[in-house]
Structure 1
């Protein structure tokens, strides 16, 4: 039983863990050390902030099914002193599109999603054109559309709501960088912060997001999680796309509505995706060479686009298999890792918070078994293959 838990990182993952820990057992002391309380550079605030059930692995689907229920009820769950937070949840759905090359995979994924209770409809080419008349379907054979349970929301609002609720339950937040860890044998006994303080811990949680590798290195652990920059573009267009979802083109380019405008992006090619690129730079060439031509092909009305704003944020990218690493490392008895979400952190945050709190308080998962995301698969070279990587 842990009486003192120190969480490194106060983004959506760390704050969700703090919330569930204090909500489950108010006798547990929880300290969250967050280097950037403004969250100006956090993945939680800079991402495209969306949620889907259209994954190809059962656990990711189940985590997001719980996530959408949490988001739907956030006003009641995270109410503080009568103030109910709102994250402006829009269940506009995801639309994954498939050419002949991707049709079999899309159908296989759809069967799994439906079997687990996700409300995803499979559409052929004719049905796609009927439902989305603005869409160019000439090279498509099918699409999978989330009728409910998928969409987008205010990511910054979510992390603030979790933080405020955790604080109201007694979690302490410290604005500082973590500069070191004190180990005695197979345990971490203290977390050293840049403010000069040492925080004693029975359990330490690495929820440092894009900086997870730095914290793991303090324990002589090599975690395959790297900070990969992703650029997001906010564009305006005279196009008026009725019932527009978050659309995933077969190329990997995505877009979704953002008020009267749209946000869009894609991942760079693997040979042009180095670590730790500066966030104050945006990959404009990626927009000009890849994103805009793809959008204009898929939605002819997008031939006329104007970039209104753009920014970059970090994916905490798990190069091993693009899935989170959650659980204890066999070399360190009292350190729980919750890292490497590869773009899924906001939507999987609630399930992670609940699961990690159960693991710390009970020594096992109670609600949803997250053990397939443990370190063992990494150490034994058993990657989880996710076919729907965005």
Structure 2
């Protein structure tokens, strides 16, 4: 008899896992996705800026992203259904700018890691930047790092919708409910209790609860260093639009801005950056006048005259231990698995991490990418597997 699998969290990562499980042969009738908010109105997927990059400091994350791009470009073929539309991908690249020798040295170090892992990252001195992107004010800039291929914006909503839709059509149960307790009697997973009062037996529980990942882990008697952290986004129009596409530019201030159709999208984190309640989406909008607009107008003078069209606050499910995903089994609780802590990279990592964990659950090991270094036991052992390139 196939293992009964309960996936706690049905946004893009949970839906990816559910679809990949069915694709790799797990009986759909033995898979249940429990989602507390079936509208998905306040999940990380809904507030994502939906971008993908190769410019990571950890080679495994470069490989994860490379499969993500492959999935984006070949989504209909991978899904095997003519109804599935292409996923729009706008590969304008990321542009990291360095204004100190230390930051420039960092960009050189990680560029070597990225190119060895197959990424097409190029370093650009100020003269090269000025020639190709004359709209930048390069005062104080020492070096740029640009992703020349396979970086940019993609339509993550299409991926999410079709993973969820086809998983459901194949027979996966999507249940609108909230897990309130996890049965760990006998030292292994036995099932869950739901807010509705129902119980569901399970051999495997996968924690894909986003910013609530630590709460779900505590139900199983485990600790995860996952916090909800606010991230601000604004969409705006410029009185003087640029004459070419704007790469997703990460200014030394931490403010980042990119092309968004005919307009632009800018994001920033607050300072300080405390943990918040997962239901707290209130914003301290003074950050716009105090930090974001000054940095934006300084780096790109054409953006001195702009009109904000909309703005929102979303959350990272931030891994405070090493800012990297937590994926795989917990050795001290058989049957409990994590898919957590993406620290802002969840949407772009959902193809590879959903596939990888599905491989482990159906075949007993990772087959295409070895995700073992991301396992949760590294946290208990206090052996970080860090990702330094977190925006």
TM-score tier (shorter): over 0.9
Distance 2:241 2:134 in 1: 11
Pairing 1:181–2:182 present: yes
After the TM superposition, which parts of structure 1 deviate over 6 Å for at least 4 consecutive aligned residues? none
Distance 1:301 1:376 in 2: 49
**Which moved further from structure 2: 327-336 or 57-66?**
327-336
Distance 2:274 2:130 in 1: 35
Distance 1:298 1:183 in 2: 54
* Partner SS, residue 188 of structure 1: coil
**Which moved further from structure 2: 294-303 or 162-171?**
162-171
- The answer as to whether partners of 1:23 and 1:169 remain within 8 angstroms in 2 is no
- The answer as to whether partners of 1:26 and 1:169 remain within 8 angstroms in 2 is no
Deviation of the 1:65 alpha carbon: 0.5
Alignment of 1:323-334 (within 5 A): 323-334=324-335
TM-score (normalizing by structure 1): 0.95
C-alpha distance 376-181 of structure 1, shift in aligned 2 (>3 A): closer
Alignment of 1:1-390 (within 5 A): 2-27=2-27, 29-78=30-79, 80=81, 82-101=82-101, 102-241=103-242, 242-269=244-271, 271-276=272-277, 278-390=279-391
Deviation of the 1:280 alpha carbon: 4.0
Distance 1:280 1:380 in 2: 34
- The answer as to whether partners of 1:5 and 1:204 remain within 8 angstroms in 2 is yes
Distance 1:277 1:192 in 2: 21
Gaps of 5+ in 1: none
* Partner SS, residue 213 of structure 2: helix
TM-score (normalizing by structure 2): 0.95
- The answer as to whether partners of 1:206 and 1:212 remain within 8 angstroms in 2 is yes
**Which moved further from structure 2: 144-153 or 340-349?**
144-153
* Partner SS, residue 378 of structure 1: helix
* Partner SS, residue 296 of structure 1: helix
Deviation of the 1:85 alpha carbon: 2.9
Deviation of the 1:87 alpha carbon: 3.6
- The answer as to whether partners of 1:231 and 1:283 remain within 8 angstroms in 2 is no
- The answer as to whether partners of 2:212 and 2:278 remain within 8 angstroms in 1 is no
Give the number of aligned pairs: 388
Instruction: Please give the root-mean-square deviation of Cα atoms over the aligned residues, in Å.
Output: 1.6
